[in-house]
Chain A
Amino acid sequence: MTTRIEEQSVFIEQSPFYEKKVELLDEAEQTARLRQRKKRRLFIFASLCFSLILFAVSFLLRSPAPTPPPNPEVVPTPTEAPRAIDTTSLKAQIRQARQFTETIILNESDFALPSLDIKIAID
């Protein structure tokens, strides 16, 4: 014997409005899925475009071949005639010199005397 609720369920499921509702729900789900797929594709496409733009920018901004470094044996004094050097190279040279300066004391610690027992003996 079916209960009243079960009877009502059967009635609802058999009703044409229920079928329409299910149909509409299915459509809505499909539309949502399609929308999600579209969003995903758009996201991938946007990432690709952005990467390509970055690559193009970095390729265009790449620095020219570096000028030969100054001869370490000859350090020009400030009173010497200036050479024509473009700003990009000078910036790079300054950065390079700063990096060298930063490592001076650090590298020096490599030459600290080893800690050895200088009193190795039997007595």
Chain B
Amino acid sequence: MRKAQIGERGVLWLLLAPLLLLLVVGLGIPTWSILADGLSAVGRVAVTNPAAGPDYLLPALARIELTTLRIGAVVGIAATLLATFLTLLLRGVSGVARQVVLALALFPMGVHIAFRVFGVQFLLAPAGPFGEILFGRLSSILFTEIATVVGLVHWTFPVALLVLLVAAERLPQEEVDAAALLGAPPRDVVLRVVVPHLLPAMISAVTLTFCLAYGSFITPEALGGMDDMTVSRIIGALLREGRQEASSLLSFVGLLTPLLVFAGGAAFAYMAQRRLRQPTHGV
């Protein structure tokens, strides 16, 4: 019997083999080569003069990392809040109307990133529809951090919306109905019943969109300027110049940051989920 159980488990672990092989070959080996290269580049910095070249200046790297973190955080929060707002608006809307709104909201997923980026450029240009109305007094916001944030919010919004839609499907409708039946005004039903249940999904959406925005290359490259360089843009520039070691060092940083942030976000989402499941005491 024991042999049969071991054989049974062996078969199941064998079914995991293709996945493990893909993770090793597709993710592990390339990542290890970046890690090894990055660590050796750090070692060379420690031995040689750190001011030997601009790409080894730690303050510049720190500034780029902070800029990327800031852009990622703003994009994550903005995309998630917009997606949450749309999800709440669509509660109670069904049929063709709901499908039309969702089709519009998800339409960008089928459009190539190059056109989406051009669309942002067109809309935010000084003579463009939004540029003139919103930023008429200011100089063009194209090729600034604001344009990058707008472009990334546009890109990550469908992803955040999908996460929130799935969470909204799992809302305990009994609790929502009970609150309404007990006389709670709609605003309180949303703020005190619906939003707390959506909170773990909101944290997950913020974390996911942050990671996507952090690692994005095309949008920041097309919409950003010299003052808001991101990690991916610098990696791309170093690759174009043939500086593979420096690109590996930065790729190492670009790899660690989203993983650490996601681990933190997952922990927060888990704590929010646990708090939701705890019974409230007292009347």
A-B interaction? no
Q: Which chain A residues have a beta carbon within 8 Å of chain B's beta carbons?
A: none
